[in-house]
């Protein structure tokens, strides 16, 4: 009875497919042994994938960002030649020390998303961080 109640609760969470609960729900819902129930009326594999993709990776906020005030960055020294590329190990170390469960910032990217992105493509984040520093 408890098992059935937990399963019904997870199915309800999957059907809600919000970006705040989807990773935890997928973690608890062992999809290797049980099929994913219909999501938002989608019963095909591709339809379920689209619903999950939209919940896991919602569109980025397209609101224009405020520009930095003039004179905020007063340094005129070019330090690009003094920076070293960020390594995979440095990125991994930074990711494992993030505080999960906190709210997202103005970029709408959660730490959980960064962790999953790093797991899926660990070689890309060091290039991105190096480009930002440069």
pLDDT tens digits, one per residue of 80-89: 788 889 999 9
Q: Compute CA 20 distance to the chain's CA centroid, rounded to the nearest angstrom.
A: 10
Span 104-130, pLDDT tens digits: 777 778 888 888 889 998 899 999 988
pLDDT at 63: 67
Of 97, 77, 101, 89, the residue nearest 125 (C-alpha): 89
Mean pLDDT calculated for residue range 37-63: 80
Alpha carbon distance 33, 8 (integer Å): 16
Rounded Cα distance between 45 and 55, Å, is: 15
Quickly tell me which residue has 């970029």 as its tokens. 107
Average pLDDT, the chain: 79
Q: Would you list the domain boundaries of the chain?
A: 2-56, 80-133
DSSP 39: B
């Amino acid at each position: 009875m408890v098992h059935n109640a937990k399963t019904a609760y997870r199915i309800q969470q999957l059907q809600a497919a919000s970006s705040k609960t989807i990773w935890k729900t997928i973690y608890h819902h062992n999809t290797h042994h049980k099929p994913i129930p219909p999501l938002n009326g989608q019963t095909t594999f591709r339809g379920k994938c689209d619903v999950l993709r939209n919940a896991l990776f919602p569109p980025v906020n397209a609101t224009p960002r405020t520009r930095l005030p003039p004179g905020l960055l007063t340094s005129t020294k070019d330090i690009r030649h003094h920076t070293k590329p960020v390594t995979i190990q440095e990125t991994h170390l930074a990711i494992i020390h993030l505080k999960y469960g906190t709210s997202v910032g103005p970029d709408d990217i959660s730490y959980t998303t960064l962790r999953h992105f790093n797991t899926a493509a660990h070689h890309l984040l060091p290039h991105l961080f190096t480009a930002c520093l440069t």
